[in-house]
């Protein structure tokens, strides 16, 4: 009979920091609990490719693609399975304490905003044919830094989409599958979408008083190249509190144009209720059930948004 291993208890009880020290991994501090350095798993390629968040006890290497919790790190270093890694770490696990379990739960519910990466992926091809099939012009792809990434790591063979914080600092890449491989969109482990609005820094820099809110990256690209530069994407169908506060503080008027399906329209209503409580001027754009902003021609987008936005922020490209 095999011994039972409590993976959750091991991850709670054994910090990634302690295991990194065990392997004498040298890291440099970037923020309160953020550290970077050469990756010990694949030999150190990329000076700042190996990222560690000590608060959440997770890691990710942008060069080799490894990432996850202390169990994943141990498995990668020892070349063993997760179960074997758990067995190695179990002796280091302290007895369970109900008070500490509650504290850990509270910590995981609140994610910190991602810090700047400190590096950029190379050899990103912004002329890849996939972009044309999605109606994305070369200039739009170059403006956003979007393109096919042939290099190593977690995002290899995917379309990479740079994500910036409100200050315009590069904080992450999302990789879009081109061949149906799941997940369709791959974010770095532990990436806090709840803290970021895609393209907010560009929209804020336009000087416009209004902003259009859409769901996804390609919705944002399509609205942008229709001549409406003040546009942001939720990277999902929920407006979290931190991005909501940023929108209200920067813009006087918010236009919500999510997908026409049930998910999008339900999300629109939820956003409307929240904005109303904040006394924010907003308008909902309801699309037909099968319509998505990324599939609409530029002239249709302008016609739809013309009654909702000041004339000076709608242009033609």
Q: Is the pLDDT of residue 313 over 90?
A: no
- pLDDT band at 101, cuts 50/70/90? very low
pTM of the model: 0.69
Q: Which fold has domain 200-313?
A: Dna Topoisomerase Vi A Subunit; Chain: A, domain 2 (3.40.1360)
What are the tokens at 137? 């012009």
pLDDT for the residue numbered 18: 86
Burial per residue of 196-216, b for 16 or more beta-carbon CB atoms within 10 angstroms, e otherwise: bbbbbebbbeeebebbbbbbb
Homologous superfamily (CATH) for 7-109:
Zinc finger, CHC2-typedomain (3.90.580.10)
CA-closest candidate to residue 29, choices 65, 63, 55, 68: 55
Token readout for 251 is 């813009």
What single DSSP character describes residue 294?
G
For residues 219 and 213, what is the distance between their CA atoms, to the nearest angstrom? 9
The model's pLDDT over 219-266, given as tens digits with 9 standing for 90+, comes to 999 999 999 999 999 999 999 999 999 999 999 999 999 999 999 999
Confidence class of residue 3 from pLDDT cuts 50, 70 and 90? low
pLDDT, tens digit (0-9, with 9 covering 90-100), for 179-200: 988 889 998 877 888 899 999 9
Query: Can you give the pLDDT at residue 112?
Result: 62
Q: What is the pLDDT of residue 164?
A: 96
155-177 average pLDDT score: 94
- Among 96-105, 106-115, 135-144, name the most confident range: 135-144
Mean per-residue pLDDT for 71-86?
88
Asked if residue 75 has pLDDT above 80, the reply is: yes
Confidence at residue 34, expressed as pLDDT on a 0 to 100 scale:
85
Burial of 305 (0-12, 13-18, 19+ CB in 10 A): buried
pLDDT at 310: 57
Query: Domain 129-191's class?
Result: alpha beta
- Classify residue 280 as exposed, middle or buried by CB count within 10 Å of its CB (0-12, 13-18, 19+): middle
Q: How many residues in the chain?
A: 317
pLDDT of residue 25: 86
Query: Within the chain, what is the greatest distance between any pair of CA atoms?
Result: 73
Q: Which residue has the higher pLDDT, 12 or 287?
A: 287
Is residue 104 very low, low, confident or very high in pLDDT (cuts 50, 70, 90)? very low
**DSSP secondary structure string, 74-139?**
HHHHHT--HHHHHHHHGGGPPPP-HHHHHHHHHHHHSPPPPPP-S---SS-BTT-HHHHHTT--HH
Q: Which two tokens stand for residue 306?
A: 């013309």
The pLDDT assigned to 2 comes to 46
Weakest mean pLDDT among 20-24, 56-60, 162-166: 20-24
Write down the pLDDT at residue 102: 45
The predicted pLDDT at position 251 comes to 96
Is 235 exposed, middle or buried (CB count within 10 Å of its CB: 0-12, 13-18, 19+)? Answer: buried
Task: Tell me the two tokens of residue 19.
Answer: 């295991």
Over residues 125-163, the pLDDT tens digits come to 999 999 999 999 999 999 999 999 998 777 889 999 999
**Which strands sit side by side in the sheet containing 50-53, from one edge to the other?**
28-29, 34-37, 50-53, 58-61, 67-68
In the chain, what are the domain boundaries? 7-109, 129-191, 200-313
Q: Which residue has the higher pLDDT, 104 or 265?
A: 265
């Amino acid at each position: 009979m095999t011994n039972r291993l409590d993976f959750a208890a091991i991850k709670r009880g054994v910090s990634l920091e302690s295991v990194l020290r065990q392997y004498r991994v040298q890291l440099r501090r970037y923020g309160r609990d953020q550290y970077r350095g050469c990756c010990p798993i694949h030999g150190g390629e990329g000076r700042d490719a190996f990222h560690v968040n000590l608060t959440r006890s997770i890691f990710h290497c942008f060069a080799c693609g490894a990432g996850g919790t202390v169990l994943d790190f141990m498995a990668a270093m020892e070349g063993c399975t997760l179960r074997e890694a758990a067995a190695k770490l179990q002796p280091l696990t302290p007895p369970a304490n109900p008070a500490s379990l509650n504290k850990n739960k509270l910590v995981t519910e609140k994610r910190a905003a991602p810090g700047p990466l400190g590096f950029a992926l190379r050899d990103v091809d912004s002329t890849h044919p996939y972009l044309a099939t999605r109606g994305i012009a070369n200039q739009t792809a170059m403006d956003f830094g979007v393109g096919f990434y042939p290099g190593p790591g977690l995002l290899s063979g995917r379309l990479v989409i740079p994500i910036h914080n409100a200050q315009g600092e590069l904080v992450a890449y999302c990789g879009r599958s081109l061949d149906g491989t799941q997940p369709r969109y791959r974010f770095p482990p532990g990436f806090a979408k709840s803290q970021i609005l895609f393209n907010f820094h560009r929209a804020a820099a336009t000087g416009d008083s209004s902003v259009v809110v859409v769901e996804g990256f390609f919705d944002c690209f399509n609205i942008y190249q229709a001549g409406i530069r003040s546009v942001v994407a939720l990277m999902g169908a929920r407006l979290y509190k931190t991005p909501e506060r940023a929108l209200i503080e920067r813009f006087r008027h918010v236009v919500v144009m999510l997908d026409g399906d049930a998910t999008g329209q339900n999300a629109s209503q939820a956003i409307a209720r929240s904005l109303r409580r904040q006394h924010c001027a907003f308008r909902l754009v309801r699309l037909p059930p099968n319509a998505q902003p990324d599939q609409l021609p530029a002239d249709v987008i302008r016609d739809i948004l013309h009654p909702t936005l000041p004339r000076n922020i709608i242009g033609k490209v």
